[in-house]
Structure formats: C-alpha cells, structure tokens
Amino acid sequence: MSLLVRMVVLMLFASTTVWAGGDAAKGAEIAKGVCVACHGADGNSPTPAFPKLAGQHPEYLVKQLKNFKSGERANAVMAPMASALSDDDMQNVAAHFAAQKSKEAGAVSNGKGSAGEKIYRAGIADSKVPACAACHGPAAKGLPIRFPSLSGQYSDYTVAQMKAFRSGERANAPMMKMIAARMTDADIAAVSDYIQGVR
C-alpha cells in the first residue's frame, strides 16, 4: 500500500471533528449577521474570492471554523470571525449552510474529455498525483467528515487554495499539501475549472 493511500485511510478514520448536530434556524441568524457579506446569507458567495458554503458537509465546516479559531488554518479575515463563535455557534452555522442548495456554475473550458477532467478522474501518473475523485467522489460531493464537497466551487477559489497548500501557507490538510506540491499551475487551473462545472 502506497504512502498516499495509507494517509487517505488514516485520515478517513482519524477525524477530530465530531458533528453533534446543530440548529439551522439559529445558524441562519448568525449567518445574516456575520457571514453574509462574504459568503451570502444562503452560502452562495457573490464573488469568486470567497468560497461557496451552501451544501457543504457540516463536519467539514465545523472543522474549518475550529481551525481558523485555533490558528491551525491561518487567515486574517476568518480568524476574528471564528474567534467570536462558540462551539454551539459553529454547529448551528454549519447546519444552516449544509441545508442550503449550491447554485450551479459551469466550467469555462474544462468539460468532458478535458485535461481538468482527466486530472480529476485519473490523476497525473507521472507526477504521482492521485485522482481527486478518490477522496472527493465522482460527482465532487466529497465524503463527510474529512473530504469537502467541491462541486460547483468557484475555480478562482480552488486555485487559490491549491496554491496555498503548495506554498505551505495553508497547512491544515497535510495530504493536500503533498498533492499540490506535485502539480503545476496549469494542472491546478485545469482541474479547478473542471471542478467548477462538475455535478
């Protein structure tokens, strides 16, 4: 078993985030006051600089908020936002955004048969980059607890995150750091564009 496959298996079973459920109505109130400017009240961010949160796995959202609060995921904008949230607030906000429907977008140039689809579905053998679908699923809906839904995410945001993983600026997912380090800018751009349109 390769090191990468072992890491995937370990991460699947080693989650530190426990989903305790949440009150979506309370989360909606928090979202209206705290999250709306960047992510939209329904989690469909009005700009590609900020991620869509609608339909995201609540476990993943709670993990990211906790990582922002602890500093494990460094972000000057999100750190103070997350610091103001209690554990219950995080659960409630996550329940709210998870219950929303993501607005679909389309790939600009990486549809069926494209380089982006090939990377997503088969990886890059020469660079030892695994298929994105192995963790995020064939329709990019992710696997709850550890692997987020990527379906319809803005390509600009995905590119920025992949580059942050590659540079080490984002360090709260060691497996993604290792994968991004093996990808060129062109690889990242192609697969990010494909992800924006995948269903």
- Rounded CA-CA distance 47/67 in Å is 23
pLDDT at 180 over 80: yes
Closest CA to 60 of 117, 130, 143, 120: 143
pLDDT at 65 over 90: yes
Half-sphere exposure of 152 (CA within 13 A, CB side): 15
Structure confidence at residue 9 (pLDDT): 43
Question: How much of the chain, in percent, has pLDDT values that exceed 70?
Answer: 90
CATH number, domain 105-197: 1.10.760.10
Question: What stretch(es) of the chain map to CATH 1.10.760.10?
Answer: 15-98, 105-197
Q: What is the mean pLDDT of the chain?
A: 91
pLDDT digits (tens, 9 = 90+) for 15-42: 445 557 899 999 999 999 999 999 999 9
CATH number, domain 15-98: 1.10.760.10
pTM for the model: 0.89
Contact 63, 17 (CB under 8 A): yes
